[in-house]
Amino acid sequence: MVERRVNVGWAEGLHARPASIFVRAATAAGVPVTVAKAGGTPVNAASMLAVLGLGAQGGEELVLASEAEGAEAALDRLAKLVAEGLEELPETV
């Protein structure tokens, strides 16, 4: 299991537009990824309803995880997106 811990960089948290950006990036990652609040239950990172259901606020710690081959690079890109509150997934890290 590969894991990245990251604080939410979007001031408004992982709601509406930021959640949509994150879900699209998780889907595009090409590997199954889960996301959870630190100590919480992991949910499918490619599910808009599941991600919104986390209720993650700006600055809260999230845990991104995957067991798939190639997960290291995918999780690095997703962690950068979340930490920096980017508007789109970076091509490279």
Residues annotated as catalytic are 15
DSSP track, 16-80: HHHHHHHHHHHHHTSS--EEEETTS--EETT-HHHHHHH-PPTT-EEEEEE-STTHHHHHHHHHH
Q: Which amino acid is at 57?
A: Q
